[in-house]
């Protein structure tokens, strides 16, 4: 522990979640450029880079910005080790001067300032999400890792938000894509960002344990088809006793109790004799799982036949548990027509509640999974269903509908020379402003702001005392914004989505959200444009 503490001395915050996120998580050409900048004596020229995207993903008209915390953690701990420096030395084409290696040994991000939109904010194309300002060579080294950390994070958060919008607010949504994700932290990252995008914290099944540990997302579990088929029959269950919930009594033969309930429901007239003999290996698996988790019995009911075997087996075990004061959680469907099967299962639960007088039995939780995506969630909703919780995997975490977001990182200023830069322009509430389309002179309108928000906040101010040398722009706040807790990022995201006009966020044919600039900013952009056109450039 002491070794770790001394290693961390001077660290202002923890490093990135994935220990593989180091200064070497970059393209080699960032280091070759750094050498060329250094050779040209330009490496310390002050540059400003903006990170933004050009098109919303998934055919939608909004994106949720995420990945900021990981970027700041990388920047706060950006320092090359001696091993890394010597690797870069070996990797550079041709030889490089020793002075450059010494330079690499010295660099960190104390001269870098980071301004960003809050994580979890709803954002739009061409709006800077992240602005990095600092020595050009250092900021270039950050380009690739920062793009990597923001691109997938924003994409999967947006995907989660879209799934939430289609499923509706009343349903519970669980991410369980670990097995199909694009590598280990394709999965761990996805768990975190799906939570930010509005997925639920309390999970009943198929959870990613590593993500739960890292981000404090509470976890629950169920069982798989293999668990069911690993049993042969209830005869093999040797330890059959179960203590009642309050500890006052013990049922010596829980298996026989389940069997007696199974006979009872098999002869319920109102169910019309739809149950015959149920599958015995399934029944054995359910009993064993209930004996292990009497308070958290959630059964996967589709290994053989949902309505004729899975649901009655579940009901029999749940009723036996009820006798002992336990309350079963519910069932999970992983195949078939989820809308139909959930409705049929619900009818059976209601019938049992009514006929056998078991209060609350009708409200058993029905969870559903099986290659769900926006389209299938929408179809199930239109068909009418009784599912309470959806488990979404592959299509969610791999962003199957669009596997990449194309954020770019562009130089907008060097040595206080703007290179076409879209500045901030904060107006006051209630003041009428002439707004214009950023690139089309004829499109304009007067607008009275309902709400004014400063978009870019300072998340990494660099070292103090440097601000006199490079005077800050008026829009810049050097007060460092704290990184919010995961839960607060999630709340912010949900609130942002609630504030959106529904037609901007609907799934089919959404209305584009218009980003305008004030007349003052429009004139400034025009001035820059003319000023920036390279002399002698031939089109």
Cα gap 422→424, rounded to integer Å:
7
Q: How far is the CB of 189 from a copy of itself (least distance, A)?
A: 5
Element (H, E) at 518: strand 517-518
Q: 496 forms bridges with which residues in the sheet?
A: none
Count of other CB atoms within 10 angstroms of residue 320: 25
User: How many other CB atoms sit within 10 Å of the CB of residue 370?
Assistant: 16
Query: For 439, what's the count of Cα atoms within 13 Å in the CB-facing half-sphere?
Result: 4
3 state SS of 269: helix
Nearer to a copy of itself, 209 or 485 (CB): 209
Rounded to the nearest 10°, the torsion over CA 100, 104, 108, 112 is: 40
Other C-beta atoms closer than 10 Å to the C-beta of 9 total 6
DSSP code at position 514 = P
DSSP letter, residue 58: T
Angle ∠(369,370,371) on CA atoms, nearest 5: 120
Sequence-distant (≥ 6) Cβ neighbours of residue 341 within 8 angstroms: 302, 306, 307, 333
Nearer to a copy of itself, 308 or 350 (CB): 308
Taking the complex as a whole, the smallest distance from the CB of residue 532 to a copy of itself amounts, in Å, to 9
- Provide the minimum distance between the beta carbon of 200 and a copy of itself in the complex, in angstroms, as a whole number: 14
Closest approach of a copy of itself to the CB of residue 416, in Å: 13
Q: Supply φ then ψ for residue 374, to 5 degrees.
A: -55, -45
Smallest separation, CB 94 to a copy of itself (Å)? 4
Rounded least distance, CB 441 to a copy of itself, Å: 25
Q: Which is nearer to a copy of itself, 122 or 262 (CB)?
A: 262
Beta strand extents in 319-407 (DSSP E only): 330-333, 365-368, 389-392
Return the number of the residue (15 or 449) whose C-beta is nearest a copy of itself: 15
C-beta pairs of 429-436 under 8 Å, 24+ apart in sequence: 433/518, 433/519, 434/518, 434/519, 435/516, 435/517, 435/518, 435/519, 436/516, 436/517, 436/518, 436/519, 436/522
CB of 126 to a copy of itself, least distance (A): 17
Nearer to a copy of itself, 187 or 315 (CB): 187
Nearer to a copy of itself, 206 or 366 (CB): 206
Q: Which is nearer to a copy of itself, 25 or 494 (CB)?
A: 25
Closest to a copy of itself by CB, 9 vs 479, is: 9
Report the residue number, 239 or 498, with the smaller CB distance to a copy of itself. 239
CB 164 to a copy of itself: min, Å: 20
CA 406 to chain centre: 17
To a copy of itself, the closest distance from the beta carbon of 398 in angstroms equals 4
Quote the tokens at residue 57.
């993903």
Beta carbon of residue 368, minimum distance to a copy of itself (angstroms, whole number): 15
Query: H or E segment at 243?
Result: strand 242-243
User: Given the complex with a copy of itself, which of 205 and 460 has the nearer CB atom?
Assistant: 205
DSSP H/E element including 36: helix 28-39
Structure tokens at 327: 């309350």
CA distance 204 to 174: 8
Rounded to a whole number of angstroms, the minimum distance from the CB of residue 422 to a copy of itself is 16
| Nearer to a copy of itself (CB atom), residue 256 or residue 417 | 417
């Amino acid at each position: 522990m002491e070794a770790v503490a001394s290693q961390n001395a001077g660290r202002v915050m923890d490093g990135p979640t994935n220990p593989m996120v180091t200064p070497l998580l970059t393209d080699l050409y960032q280091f070759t450029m750094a050498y060329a900048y250094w050779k040209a004596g330009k490496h310390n020229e002050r540059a400003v880079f903006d990170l933004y995207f050009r098109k919303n993903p998934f055919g939608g008209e909004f994106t949720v910005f995420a990945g900021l915390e990981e970027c700041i953690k990388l920047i706060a701990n950006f320092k090359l080790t001696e091993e890394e420096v010597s690797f870069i030395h070996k990797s550079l084409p041709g030889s490089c001067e020793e002075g450059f290696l010494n330079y690499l040994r010295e660099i960190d991000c104390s001269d870098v300032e980071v301004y960003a939109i809050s994580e979890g904010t709803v954002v739009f194309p061409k709006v800077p999400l992240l602005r990095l300002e600092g020595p050009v060579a250092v900021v270039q080294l950050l380009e690739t890792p920062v793009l990597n950390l923001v691109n997938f994070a924003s994409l999967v958060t947006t995907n989660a938000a879209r799934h939430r919008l289609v499923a509706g607010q009343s349903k519970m949504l669980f991410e369980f894509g670990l097995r199909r994700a694009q590598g280990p932290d394709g999965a761990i990252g996805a768990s975190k960002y799906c939570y930010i995008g509005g997925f639920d914290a309390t999970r009943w099944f198929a959870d990613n344990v590593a993500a739960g540990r890292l981000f404090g997302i509470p976890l629950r579990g169920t069982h798989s088809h293999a668990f069911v088929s690993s049993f042969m029959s209830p005869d093999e269950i040797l330890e059959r006793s179960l203590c009642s919930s309050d500890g006052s009594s013990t049922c010596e033969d829980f298996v026989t109790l389940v069997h007696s309930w199974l006979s009872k429901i098999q002869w319920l007239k109102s169910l019309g004799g739809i149950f015959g003999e149920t599958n015995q290996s399934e029944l054995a698996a359910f009993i064993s799982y209930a004996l292990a988790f009497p308070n958290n019995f959630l059964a996967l009911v589709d290994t053989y036949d949902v309505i004729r075997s899975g649901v009655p087996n579940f009901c029999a075990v749940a009723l036996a548990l009820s006798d002992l004061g336990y309350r079963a959680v519910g069932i999970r469907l992983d195949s078939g027509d989820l809308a139909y099967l959930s409705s049929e299962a619900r009818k059976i639960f209601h019938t049992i509640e009514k006929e056998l007088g078991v209060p609350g039995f009708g409200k058993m939780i029905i969870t559903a999974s099986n290659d769900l995506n926006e389209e299938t969630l929408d179809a199930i909703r239109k068909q009418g269903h009784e599912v309470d919780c959806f488990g979404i995997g592959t299509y969610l975490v791999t962003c199957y509908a669009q596997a990449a977001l194309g954020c770019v990182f562009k130089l907008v200023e060097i040595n206080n020379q703007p290179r076409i830069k879209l500045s901030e322009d904060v107006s006051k509430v209630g003041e009428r402003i002439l707004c214009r389309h950023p690139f089309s002179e004829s499109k304009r309108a007067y607008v009275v702001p309902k709400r004014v928000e400063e978009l870019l906040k300072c998340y990494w101010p660099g070292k103090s005392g440097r601000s006199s040398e490079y005077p800050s722009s008026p829009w810049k706040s050097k007060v460092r914004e704290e990184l919010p807790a995961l839960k607060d990022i999630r709340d912010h995201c949900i609130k942002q989505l609630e504030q959106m006009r529904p037609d901007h966020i609907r799934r089919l044919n959404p209305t584009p959200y218009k980003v305008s600039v004030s007349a003052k900013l429009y004139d400034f952009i025009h001035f820059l444009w003319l000023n920036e056109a390279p002399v002698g450039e031939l089109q």
